[in-house]
Amino acid sequence: MGIDHIDAQDGARFLERDFNQCFQQMRHYDGQIIDIVKFALTAYATLAGAALAFYKYGIDKCLDYRFPAIAVLIVGLLLGFILLVLVIRNRVYFVLVTRYVNEHRGFFLRDNPLGFPNMTRMYTNAKQPPYFDRWSSQLILLYGLALLNSGLIGVILYIFVGSLKYYMFAYGVLFFIVQLVFTYAYLQFCEGKTASKAVFGKE
């Protein structure tokens, strides 16, 4: 009986430590998403500025610097898509850890320990939050990143053509939609999967 009691205490201590560590992980993944978007804002401003400077310098000197400028923006666009994927992956990690925390809380609160009623109905649902929650702060940041990527498409076309055309806006919108569809499809794929299946694609 003593051994069982020690085992129960060890198990409780493990779950407590695990719960605390998961909260730290939640903050880490949320912070990662914010940091990625902040980095993207700085990087895009730098790249767009450098590309337009190339382009304007070429015009002033009667030289064609369009392709070096476009090359800089294409590198930025590739970087932007990688950053988008990183945000999506961090969203997956965040949701998994948050659901695990909810499962912990639900396990300990189901019998109203010490008479605690949880009147605020603090999260206990291990199936929440959804991977794709269209109005979550993380997804709104992702939309902003996708919008920046789409803006690069417009700038690339503007430099290539040498003037502003209506179809540049259309291509930007189309690319924005493609990014959102990719995001939605990937996050919906993770829904209903175990942690290993959602992260690694297999058990």
Amino acid of residue 57: Y
Phi and psi, residue 125, nearest 5°:
-85, 115
Helix (H), strand (E) at residue 8: helix 2-60
Query: Is the CB of residue 87 less than 8 Å from the CB of residue 141?
Result: yes
Residue whose C-alpha is closest to residue 101's, from 27, 29, 26, 33: 26
- Mean pLDDT of the 60-85 span: 87
Higher pLDDT, residue 55 or 120: 120
Percent of the chain at pLDDT > 70 equals 96
Q: Which domain holds residue 101?
A: 2-200
132: which 2 tokens? 């794709």
Neighbours of 203 (CB within 10 A): 8
How would residue 2 be classed by pLDDT, with cut points 50, 70 and 90? very low
Q: Which residue pairs from 65-70 have beta carbons closer than 8 angstroms and sit at least 24 positions apart in sequence?
A: 66/159, 66/160, 66/162, 69/159, 70/156, 70/159, 70/160
- Mean pLDDT of the 123-142 span: 94
Model-level pTM?
Answer: 0.88
Report the number of distinct structural domains present in the chain. Answer: 1
Taking the C-alpha atoms of residue 50 and residue 142, their distance in angstroms, rounded to an integer, is 24
Tell me, what's the pLDDT at 6? Answer: 53
- Mean pLDDT of the 126-133 span: 94
Taking the C-alpha atoms of residue 162 and residue 168, their distance in angstroms, rounded to an integer, is 12
How would residue 110 be classed by pLDDT, with cut points 50, 70 and 90? confident
DSSP-based helix, strand, coil % in the chain, nearest 5: 80, 0, 20
| CA geometry: angle 27, 30, 34, nearest 5 deg | 130
Dihedral sign for Cα 96, 98, 99, 100, please.
positive
The CA-atom distances, in angstroms, between 162 and each of 65, 140, 174 are: 11, 32, 21
